[in-house]
Structures are given as structure tokens and as C-alpha cells.
Structure 1
Amino acid sequence: MSAADPVDVRNWLRLSDRVTTSGALGSDDPARLAAIGTQRVIYLAMADHPEAVPDAAAAMASAGMAYAHIPVPWDAPEESHYIAFRQALESQDSPVHVHCIMNWRVAAFMYRWHQEQGMPEPEARAIMERVWSPTTSEEPHADKWARFIGLVPAETQQRRGET
């Protein structure tokens, strides 16, 4: 019998047999990820965030998983961050878990990646919006993320009721 997905992890999503995503992980979560077959973990937030797993590389290694850290500042996503993410995601065909603090960075990056893989935009957007929508969020940096993933500012303003 295989272990169940740790759906109690913040904003947990299983996107496919190979890819899962979430927000912040707890200290017991590396072992739980390994138990469901995860072989690699990609972390997209800052290592010094209060909710980051302490010594995450060691924690993932202890659970038998490879670890990649791509620090993406919440207020300043850059194309180089996305390129590094895409390379890490595509580097192997093994089960991978991608996370940040709220799963918002991940959702935005996966939105772009899904479209690059040929997924229709409405489907990619629906997946992203299961976690977060930068076009409707009141979060102060949401507009930066909307622009970063190719949603035009006018659309963002219109969805927020601005003129």
C-alpha cells in the first residue's frame, strides 16, 4: 500500500503522477514526500523566510531526495528565476515536488510552464487559480506577478474593478 498525498500541507496540489506542488513544508514533510515517491524537491522562496525548512538541503537529503533551491524574491520575480526553475523541473523525469511559502510563486511558474508544454491558457489558468490568482489578488505585489506571467496590467485592473 502506498502512502497518501499529504493534502494537509498548505495549498497542496497534485498536478500529475510526476509533479506535486505546495506552500511551506513542515519539519516532518520531507519524509512524507519521500513516502509518496518524490525523488526531487525544488524550493522557490527565500531560505531565510521564517517558514522555510531549516537546513532544507540536509533535510531533503536525509529523506533520500535531491534538492534545488531557486530563491525568487516575492517582490521581484525575474526571467532568470523562471529559466532556472524550468531547467530544474525538466532536468529529470523523476517525481518532483515544487514548493514555496504559499504555493503562489509555484502556481505562477507552473502557469507559464503548462502553456509552454501546449496546455490551453484557460486550463493553465484554472490550475493556477486553484491556489491563487494574481489578477484578482489584493496582495501588494500581485500586479508584478500578473505582468511576469503575461497577464496584461489592463486586465488586472479591470478584474480588480479599477479604471
Structure 2
Amino acid sequence: MQLTQRVFLVLLLMVYLAPAQAEHGEPPVNMVEISDTLTTSGQPQAAYFDALAEQGFELIVNLAPPESHGSLENEGGLVGERGMTYVNIPVNWDAPAEEHFEFFRKVMAESRPMNTLVHCQVGFRASTFTFLFRVIEEGVEPDEALESVHAAWVPNETWTEFANRFLSEHGIGYQLDIE
């Protein structure tokens, strides 16, 4: 095959594949697939909810307050229009609360094994709440569950203390190190 034909084919492929990426936008920051039915991430772009629906996601759990920087004004509507269920649990970044985690646990326990995306602004709240759920509710070994947290971040002091409190309260002899 001549060089000009190869260049033409490469350009044709780029033109063909680019609309699919542009149509759905970029995947959200810190997107971590934990299992076939559980993923965490940062805030998806509005167009990316089409991709999530096409991938079979059924439940979107948003842990960021609606007024958070980068949040979508009508995220619940965007999700619902695509046939998925939306739950917003507005967790304060500086002061995560027990009642928010308990509500999250309930939502997650009642919705398993739905294909679920748990997200927040950048995936930090989402990864930490999901870590706790997996360890406390699903019996996943803490070191294994922590790998998905570390794929997004290393929890700060506030979030490490929050996680350690819940682990201790549930009789799990594991503590995250404060970085």
C-alpha cells in the first residue's frame, strides 16, 4: 500500500472515530472501574451520560452538593431522561457526616447488583464512601478496596479520620495511614 493511501486511511479512521468521542465527551476524571457493576469517578460532562446509559449503567449516585464547582444544574433530569436512576447525597467536603454515609450504605445495599456509578466533583468522596461500603457491607479486604481509592487519591486527614472512625465502629481492625 502506498504512503498516500495509508495516510488517507489513517485520516479516514480519525474522522470516523472522532465524532463518537465528541458526541459523548471525555470520560470523567479519576474514573475507576471497581467491578462489572461498580465504578467511581469525578463529575461526568452532560454528554457523557449518553455513554453511561449505552454502557448499561442503571444508577448514578452523586455525592457532591448541587452548588459544587463544576456540577450540572439538572443532573437528575439528564440521568432520568436516559432511563437511569439518580440519587444525590450532598456530602460536605470539609465535614463528611455519618448520616450521609449511612444513607449511602442504604442506597447501595438496596440497589446491588445494579450497574452503578458513584461520583462527586473529582472522585475523592466517591472513592472513600465506596471503599467503606465495600469493606463494611461486602466484606472486601481493606487493602484490596483501598487500591481503588489510591487510583484516585490518597485521603487527607479529614477523610482518613472519617474512614477510620467507621472502620473502628464496625469492628474492622484496619486503619488508613494519615498522609
TM-score > 0.5 by shorter chain = yes
Q: What is residue 12 of structure 1 aligned with on the other side?
A: 31
The two structures, once aligned, show a CA RMSD in angstroms of 2.1
1:50 Cα deviation after fit:
2.6
Q: Mapping of 1:2-41 within 5 angstroms? A: 8-41=27-60
Q: What is residue 104 of structure 1 aligned with on the other side?
A: 124
Partner residue of 2:99 out of 80, 85, 110: 80
1:143 pairs with 2:157 = yes
Taking the aligned partners of 1:9 and 1:63, their CA distance within structure 2 comes to: 18
Q: What is residue 44 of structure 1 aligned with on the other side?
A: 63
Q: What is residue 141 of structure 2 aligned with on the other side?
A: 120
Residues 27 and 48, structure 2, Cα contact 8 Å, conserved in 1? no
Aligned AA (1:17): D
1:146 Cα deviation after fit:
0.5
Aligned AA (2:96): P
Larger radius of gyration: 2
Q: Structure 1 runs of 4+ off > 3 angstroms?
A: none
Distance 1:127 1:7, change over 3 A: farther
Aligned AA (1:42): V
Q: Which has the higher helix share?
A: 2
1:131 pairs with 2:145 = no
Unaligned runs of 5+ in 2: 1-19, 166-174
Q: Secondary structure at the match of 1:146?
A: helix
Percent identity over the alignment? 27
- TM-score, length-scaled by structure 1: 0.82
Q: Secondary structure at the match of 2:39?
A: strand
1:61 pairs with 2:75 = no
- TM-score, length-scaled by structure 2: 0.75
